[in-house]
Amino acid sequence: MSTITATSAREHRVTVRSLCQRKRAGQKITMLTAYDFTFARIFDTAGIDVLLVGDSLGNVVQGQDTTLPVTLDEVVYHTRMVSRAARRALVISDMPFGSYQISPEEALRNAVHCVKEGGAHGVKLEGGTGAAAAISRIVGAEIPVMGHVGLTPQAIHRMGGHRVQGRTERSAQLVLEDARAVQEAGAFSVVLEGIPAPLAQEVTRALDIPTIGIGAGAGCDGQVLVMHDMLGLSDWTPSFVKQYANLGALAGQAARRFADDVANRKFPDDEHAYS
């Protein structure tokens, strides 16, 4: 019996349709954040299904405390680099705070910007029942939308920090209602972030569209991680993150070896100079 690898279907472009078929077939979906051409090409070649240009770029690329200051132009700028690299993966732009809350018309205008200028195949936005009108307006213009419920970082001030959601019966009910509202509004999938694993499993069973979990246990249809967290490039990571490499330590060692070589006149040597 052959082992199914993430790269076994690399030749075909991932589509919103194929992701929904994956749920029906019981095949897991993989998503990673990406913010530039170099990493997007590595992840695309590795067979990652979805590249999310997350507004987490505010934290991991810009060094901000929250995602709130990220602008639409910044998301579009990073999406352009990622979509240039993605030959197989579906590219999703994360709509930043303020770009879809004001009115469904403005949400649509900004989603169009992500697709037209950024080259995204779809957009993601946070919120459940409150975001349903914006989702349905964007979907009505043929732009695929990924929802995002549970712990929604753009609501950090309402939540009082990055707190796990759905721990009480009432709060769990709200997460389920939000997820249903997102599906009914026409989203093709939904991120479940920071909720207890049994609740994520219940939501996943209740929905026809695929769920992509982050800090939501193993019962989701797919999983997403922020690339800096899983590659060991972040100073701190939440306990749900599995670190698959320690690129931060490797980069530090390389920089120190370079500095030593320069100080000790070992670099450049004859091999690395024009004669």
Question: What residues act catalytically?
Answer: 193
Q: Is 72 in the site for ligand KIV (CB under 6 A)?
A: no
Rounded Cα distance between 85 and 73, Å, is 19
The smaller minimum CB distance to ligand KIV, of residues 111 and 224, is found at 224
Backbone angles phi, psi at 92, to 5 degrees: -120, 130
Interface with ligand KIV, residue 229, by CB under 6 A:
no
Least distance in Å: CB of 63 to ligand KIV? 15
Which listed residue (33, 99, 165, 204) binds ligand KIV by CB under 6 A?
A: 33
Of 100, 102, 105, nearest to 146 by C-alpha is 100
State the residue number with the nearest CB to ligand KIV: 54
Subset of 75-104 contacting ligand KIV (CB under 6 A) = 94
Long-range contacts of 127-133 (CB under 8 A, 24+ apart): 127/101, 127/152, 127/155, 127/178, 128/174, 128/175, 128/177, 128/178, 128/179, 128/181, 128/182, 129/177, 129/178, 129/181, 131/100, 131/181, 131/182, 131/185, 132/181, 132/182, 132/184, 132/185, 133/104, 133/185
C-beta of 85 vs 214, nearer to ligand KIV: 214
Residue 226 lies near ligand KIV (rule: CB under 6 A): yes
- Contact between 191 and ligand KIV by CB under 6 A: the answer reads yes
Q: What minimum distance in Å lies between the beta carbon of 144 and ligand KIV?
A: 16
Residues that bind ligand KIV (CB under 6 A): 33, 52, 54-56, 94, 148, 191, 193, 214, 224, 226
